[in-house]
A and B are shown apart, each in its own frame.
Chain A
Amino acid sequence: MSKKENKNESGSAESAGECTAGDTKDDKGLGLGVIFFILAFVICFLSGTLLFPKLLYSKKEQPFNFNHELHVGETGDCESCHAIREDGSFNGIPKLAKCQECHTETPLGETEDEAVFTEMYVAKEKEVPWYVYSRQPDCVFFSHAAHTKTEGMDCVTCHGPIGTSTNLKPYEENRITGYSREIWGQNIWGIKKHSWDRMKMDDCAECHKKETGHQGYCFQCHK
């Protein structure tokens, strides 16, 4: 046996001895590692679930509050203001001119919001810069006429019972995409309880699958 081999054998024996001696230490290290793992896991999981949405979305206030319930009561329906135009396109949030059919520079009510509206917008002939909760990316085509007129869907199916609300909820803007939180939904997991909780492509596809038997093709919405 050469010196080298002896050395190797001896070295192996030493290593084995150290390993045996160190097993106790390793167990302790592993225990600490597991504790750190669990700690980091819990902190990161909770951060990702609770803190992350607060960082992702910035809250913005609408120019003034709008009472849908009051207006639906006065006008009778959603279509009085949110109408489908002659060419089949949807007018979305009505322009100032539509509001001016009823609102003049003399406030119709006594609320602070009415005063802001008449002074800041009606008197100055300035459009109200509403934040739109349901605005979809520009690469998405959606026909309100096809859904509500042809298929008779209710506004509530996608937009929820907004017609009975008295206050506008704060607008939460996704800092990355610039779109409203309402598109993904309030639940950060994307879990929904109602059909109006989310407005993602999967939600369109789900409804299409259910109603038509097919989830639809790309070009139907992405022109």
Chain B
Amino acid sequence: MKVDRRSFLGLGLGAVAGFSVSPVLLKLTDDSSIWTQNWPWTPVPVDGEVSYENSVCSLCPGSCGISVRKIDDRPVKIEGLDEYPINNGGACLHGISGLQYLYDPARVKSPLKKNGDKFEEISWDDAISVIAGKLNDIRTAGSPEKFVCIADKDRGSVPELFKRFLKTFGSSNFYTMPGFESYLKLTAEAMHGKGMTIGFDLENSDFVLSFGAGIIEGWGSPVSCFKANASRKEREAKLYQIEPRLSNTAAGADKWLPIKPGTEADLALGICSFILKHNLYAATAAVRFKGGLNKFAAQLQNDYSLSKTSEITGIKESEIEEIATLFAKAKMPIAVFGKGKGDASQSLKEFIAVQTLNCLMDNINKKGGVFIQPVKTYLEFPEETLDDVAKEGNEKPRLGQYVHDLFEKINTSSQPVVDTLFVYQSNPCYALHDTKTIKQAVGKIPFVVSFSSFLDETAKEADIILPVHTFIERLEDVPSGAGLSKTVVGLSKPVVKPVFNTKLPGDILLLLAKALDGTVAENFAWESYDECLETVAKNIWDSLFQDGYAILEEGVPEESVEVNVAFLTGNPSSIQATGDGELMLIPIDNMRLPSAAPAASPFSIKTVSDEVLKGRDTVVEINPKTAKGLKNYDYVALTTPVGTAKVMIHLNEGIMPGVVGMVKGLGHSFDNKYVSNKGVNINELIGPVIEPGSGLDAAFGVKAKISKA
């Protein structure tokens, strides 16, 4: 018997047949099909109990109610909260992607101390001890006024605690970043009296005349504005949009009127002039104007005839006439101000001029009009106890009126004017004009402490970073503002345990206060921020805690207000853009990109179109008539008196000839691979222009040149 080829064939066939009739093939086919449908490396969401927790979003001044869906203890989705008085179930893209901030690559995971060019982790005790030591030294030296704080806003218990901290320390140098809320108060104070603020009843108005307000670009309380805009058609309300560029708001408006950049105030006054000349104003309006209307009317007739207004603004006389007539004849017209999101550099003259239009139509404190009322306070802090150092410090003058004045003073003084700077939840090294000089000023301050969740441009310049909880991890009161017609205080609740070694800003201040000499500590006698909030917000606490919000003001206010146009009769000069370029560079506010802290989330920056950000390059808009042979996506060097940037070109007939539009919110330079090193920060190209009379940085743009790169 010989084992030959056929024997092996038999062996092989036998093996195949044996396996074929065994369950192996059937089972392996089934298993491999399951395996290929469930690749082991594909992340699978962990299953668990679904629950919802309500809170408030504080990523922007919108203050929307949110509902956070959780699987067990892990938040997985943010949605708008139904029946919340501001957003009623709506949410914007930043709100719904807010959970990404929890795990942001730029998050500060524990207190950091700068050692040379690098940050080192330190304990909370060490961080508090180092800062308290520095602050005690300032008080010992008798110059507490050299302790300065910059915060993102001035309302709410946390900003109040910062103010209290400064006051009891002995400094009046508390500053806020430019914001729409502060501009509204400034305008209301200038026209209607101290302590007043302005709200717009957009959802009930039948004719909205918008002077560049990006109603669907993030102006005011964004989601509330989206809803008011969305209901415009069914309410048969009109929107006329006046701005140099066909924004999304302009594209959806009934009419877009392109205007020369920076001449919005002139147009508003031109319309006022026409209304006064033709007696189109409300009969009841005249009595409101302090000193009557005659003198003001005469001044306007002289300065803002139709032809002059047309010449200044570039809008045809017939169109000015048409707007003025439609506005005056509407049942409930409303004129809104605040270019873009209303939060960056703005002109008080423009605000007052536009508000004067409202006053002429006497839509003040009427449904569908402008609500003017005192700022509602709801926090009751105990009276401060000041020691001698604090008293003396508080009597010394502030270093400047606004935050840009502060930085200018630091840069121009030969002696150090600031010893210690606290920066809370704001990013001046990115968000203020001429960032290079801001960074230079911050660099001159001996000791900078950043209260930030992220290692952003300003935090990078700090000596110590105290990481604070993100909005989803913190307990805090969130008062609404931003031009809403109602005042709501929401309660931001911790819907997740802190992901990193962070603290509540209020708790950090309590720890710091307890480590300071003098009477500072006794002004912060609360055990924790939780206790402090419950105590100081006791008047609304039950409602705040049970319902998640408390309505301080709703409905048409009953206040009777006076109108003071002294600012305008003082004949303030108009703002002129700096530089000698033949083009005008203007910033564009884009709903998808936050222009202030925090920076965009990975999700939101991915939603930006190629006509705004292509690859890593900012795309600027110019009219084909201005292009002079340039094609779409050609590289150009954009030069202003402040800086130069390499950008791409997008030809857009929706921008006025001679104007270059560049988006805000790009060009971050901190360690976040999703957001940073994409595009150019426009604030590196525009310098501040101070408005006479108000002292505001009112730069609406800058003269620029482009040349093929």
Contact = CB atoms under 8 A, between A and B. Distances in A.
Contact of A33 (B9, B15, B30, B37): B9
A36 B10 contact: yes
B13 interface: yes
A188 B22 CA distance: 9
A143 B525 CA distance: 53
Contact of B50 (A34, A46, A56, A87): A87
A200 to B, nearest CB: 8
B1 interface: yes
Given A33-B10, A89-B49, A137-B38, A45 B26 contact: no
A130 interface: no
A19 interface: no
Contacts of A89: 49-50
Nearest to A39: B14
B32 A176 contact: yes
A44 B27 contact: no
Contact of B26 (A29, A37, A46, A190): A190
B382 interface: no
Interface string A75-96: 0000000000101010110010
Contact of B24 (A31, A41, A52, A137): A52
Contacts of B27: 52, 56, 184, 188
B669 to A, nearest CB: 40
Contacts of B295: none
Interface in B1-60: 1-4, 6-19, 21-24, 26-28, 30-32, 34-35, 37-38, 40, 44-45, 47, 49-50
Given A137-B37, A190-B23, A33 B18 contact: no
B451 to A, nearest CB: 32
Given A48-B22, A177-B38, A33 B50 contact: no
Given A45-B21, A48-B23, A177 B31 contact: yes
B3 A137 contact: no
Contact of A42 (B1, B18, B32): B18
Contacts of A25: 2
A44 B22 contact: yes
Contact of A30 (B6, B23, B24): B6
Contact of A37 (B1, B17, B44): B17
A35 B16 CA distance: 15
A36 B11 contact: yes
A153 interface: no
A53 B22 CA distance: 11
Contact of A29 (B7, B14, B49): B7
Counting chain A CB atoms within 10 Å of each CB, which of B2, B28, B31, B72 scores highest? B31
Main secondary structure of the interface of B (DSSP, over half): helix
B7 A139 contact: no
B50 A32 contact: no
Contacts of B6: 29-30, 32-33
Contacts of B24: 48, 52
Interface in A19-62: 25, 28-49, 52, 56
A117 interface: no
Give the interface size bracket for A toward B: 35 or more
Nearest to A137: B38
A216 interface: no
Contact of B11 (A37, A139, A188): A37
Contacts of B26: 190
A189 B22 CA distance: 8
Contacts of B10: 32-37, 40
A178 B12 CA distance: 32
A37 B14 contact: yes
B14 A44 contact: yes
A214 B31 CA distance: 26
A5 interface: no
Contacts of A190: 23, 26
Contacts of A52: 22-24, 27
Contact of A40 (B18, B28, B47, B50): B18
B49 A45 contact: no
Contacts of B14: 36-42, 44
A87 B22 CA distance: 45
A37 B49 contact: no
A197 to B, nearest CB: 15
A138 interface: yes
B23 A49 contact: yes
A1 to B, nearest CB: 36
Given A33-B7, A36-B7, A36-B8, A44 B15 contact: yes
B3 to A, nearest CB: 6
Contacts of A36: 7-8, 10-11, 14
Given A48-B18, A48-B22, A137-B34, 19 more contacts: A32-B2, A34-B10, A37-B17, A38-B14, A39-B14, A44-B15, A44-B18, A45-B18, A45-B19, A49-B22, A56-B31, A95-B49, A95-B72, A137-B37, A139-B37, A139-B38, A176-B31, A177-B34, A190-B23
14 contacts: A33-B6, A36-B14, A38-B14, A40-B11, A40-B12, A44-B16, A47-B22, A52-B22, A56-B31, A89-B50, A95-B72, A178-B38, A178-B40, A190-B26
Interface of B: 1-4, 6-19, 21-24, 26-28, 30-32, 34-35, 37-38, 40, 44-45, 47, 49-50, 72
9 smallest CB-CB distances across A and B, nearest first, come from A48-B22, A44-B18, A40-B14, A33-B10, A37-B14, A37-B10, A48-B24, A36-B10, A41-B18
